[in-house]
Structure 1
């Protein structure tokens, strides 16, 4: 590749976005950097997620990537460069880890469903990003890994998202061995929802997202928030919270409309209120 071509590739937008029929697609396009979660990439992702949260036309978010690597996790070159700072990089590392943690929580707290579309390798914080999304669809060639232990840096922050999606022993297996798992194993572990042949990925993902986008956004917002909040509660407290949430949901106009439409055997007319 010529220097001009290489520069053109680097200078294109870090993210590509497209809104179609309520589905907002965000695609990381730094394949030459393995779509690493550099400070710049995390800032760009956070900004697009906020746009999605604020735009009433957005009902579902798809998060994908160009290239053979969905996301390689933190930018190790960026982390290594900070070693030369007066404090050995500590302040920079604190800032980067906080920014990454904030990004993952932003995904979870987004009032709209976020679906990871994984077409390659998702490793370290890239695997964490997949685990943080509400749903995940992967090609049959996708792989997943938390390999920090192999370079003397345990995947402690990826562990938070991983351990909330995968059974304890499976999570520890990934964290302690640092070995990759294939898409079939990831589905068995509970890390992803579906496996799709690459040739059919776009068709399946779009249809999958449009089904969710057809629901009341008010209902989806209430449900997503309640799901994550009750996970952290004791059983009795979770039921009290869920019951109160059901009452709140029943008072919404869309619940009244949805129940009426079901009883009258017609399609509901959502107002998202």
Structure 2
């Protein structure tokens, strides 16, 4: 039985992590998630993805410790996108929305951090408890101090304490907190809004943001103006960019074709 429930509607892909009781991720699940998100990346008809968990208690608690006890190696083959299929997936130039429907801790929080936007149910809770099991929250140690104030990120990493959705929102870690019954409706509303926009521009935004993360401002600007970033080069020579200018001049909504 597949650990994922996958639904496609028009240009949107929904990936539901479905591994009762807690939606924990073992090696096989991670590899399947990697395949799903790689297919999303490579399918020109898909523009936005949503990642969520089944049920109302768990989004994802991260690594499946029972599988580890049964022989899954923590440094084993996670698949094409690394743990959870997202955080190391190369050239993913499409928006991903995480809809956190419950507990997101350890690798589950890292999975959410791999998305471009995070929505959370008002009962969702978060933690990085790796410190208590004598290991490191590796991806979170890289990402979290860049997303929220350094001292708060270090407190969460060094203590492993739990925090709720309201606190996560207060630090800018998530975009919105919603009643549980409204979470997926809002995720799909946001996905449809994004899917109606210019996909080549989204691709350029994501590549520019990635390039700028570890570069000086002027270095990235030079790569943009010299068309050294693939997605920017495609955008600048695209039919969609001409369509955007025409639509503005003609005072009408543009029709994006992704080419």
TM over 0.5, shorter chain: yes
- CA distance in 2 between counterparts of 1:203 and 1:213 reads 15
2:61 maps to 1:72: yes
Contact 2:30/2:85 (<8 A) preserved: no
Query: What residue number does 1:116 align with?
Result: 98
- CA distance in 2 between counterparts of 1:111 and 1:265 reads 29
2:19 maps to 1:30: yes
Q: Alignment partner for residue 198 of structure 1, among 180, 189, 197?
A: 180
Cα RMSD of the aligned pairs, angstroms, is 2.1
Shift of 1:130: 0.6
Q: Alignment partner for residue 133 of structure 1, among 115, 121, 124?
A: 115
Q: Deviations over 1:167-199 (max 9, x none)?
A: 321211110110111111112222211111112
Q: TM-score, normalised by structure 2?
A: 0.89
Structure 1 runs of 4+ with >6 Å offset: none
2:61 maps to 1:95: no
Larger helix share, 1 or 2:
1
Aligned pairs (5 A) from 1:12-23: 13-23=2-12
Q: Alignment partner for residue 261 of structure 1, among 247, 254, 257?
A: 247
Query: What residue number does 2:34 align with?
Result: 46
Structure of greater Rg: 1
- Determine helix, strand or coil for the equivalent of 1:70: strand
- Uncovered stretches (5+) of structure 1, i.e. residues with no partner: 1-10, 83-88
Contact 2:98/2:117 (<8 A) preserved: yes
Shift of 1:163: 2.9
Shift of 1:256: 1.4
Q: Deviations over 1:16-58 (max 9, x none)?
A: 11111311100011131x1112101101101111121222221
- CA distance in 1 between counterparts of 2:129 and 2:59 reads 15
Aligned pairs (5 A) from 1:242-261: 242-244=224-226, 248=233, 249-261=235-247
Q: TM-score, normalised by structure 1?
A: 0.85
- Determine helix, strand or coil for the equivalent of 2:126: strand
Contact 2:37/2:85 (<8 A) preserved: no
The number of equivalent residue pairs is 252
Query: What residue number does 1:63 align with?
Result: 51
- CA distance in 2 between counterparts of 1:178 and 1:190 reads 19
- Uncovered stretches (5+) of structure 2, i.e. residues with no partner: none
Query: What residue number does 1:5 align with?
Result: none
Contact 2:212/2:220 (<8 A) preserved: yes
